Amino acid sequence: MNPSRCAACRYLRRRCPPDCIFSPYFPPNNPQRFASIHRIYGASNVAKLLQRLPSHLRTQAADSLYLEAQYRIEDPVYGCVGLISLLQQQIHDVERQLAMTQAEIASRARHPQAVEGNLLNNVGNPSFSNQASSWFM
């Protein structure tokens, strides 16, 4: 075995030519990277894709293919789209919470006496003191 073969040529059990399209993007110390891409896209398709791209975009393409392949292996139905949907939902939830908090702050700014009155009325309330102490923990 030639230790200088790239991960793709090792996986495909072939000689690694000096002008191998895979060698810059699939180093021999990370064989799982090519194995994941090969499993989802196939070596021939990846080679064609990399050859058609300008050389300055190939590294980004190989990285993108790897990440998309990993997510497709983890979630065969949705792949990376499932993660994107989850993140969009989290953003939506946080934006909603932010809007509610901003509305509450604006309401308290308009009516500061009502807020102070509520605080003074709840001083002797045990559930209020437990709630207030939990805010500071």
pLDDT of residue 112: 73
Phi, psi of 53 (to 5 degrees): -85, 150
Amino acid symbol at 22:
F
pLDDT of residue 105: 93
Amino acid symbol at 89:
Q
| pTM for the structure as a whole | 0.64
The rounded distance, in Å, linking the Cα atoms of 102 and 99 is 5
pLDDT tens string 69-103 = 999 999 999 999 999 999 999 999 999 999 999 99
The rounded distance, in Å, linking the Cα atoms of 78 and 75 is 6
The rounded distance, in Å, linking the Cα atoms of 85 and 89 is 6
Length of the chain in terms of residues written: 137
Amino acid symbol at 99:
A
Question: Residue 76, SS3?
Answer: coil
Show the tokens assigned to 43. Answer: 């070596």
How do the pLDDT tens digits run along the chain, 137 residues long? 455 789 999 999 999 999 999 999 999 999 999 999 999 999 999 999 999 999 999 999 999 999 999 999 999 999 999 999 999 999 999 999 999 999 999 998 888 776 555 555 555 555 555 555 555 44
Q: Which residues contact 12 (CB under 8 A, 6 or more apart)?
A: 38, 43
Contact 24, 58 (CB under 8 A): yes
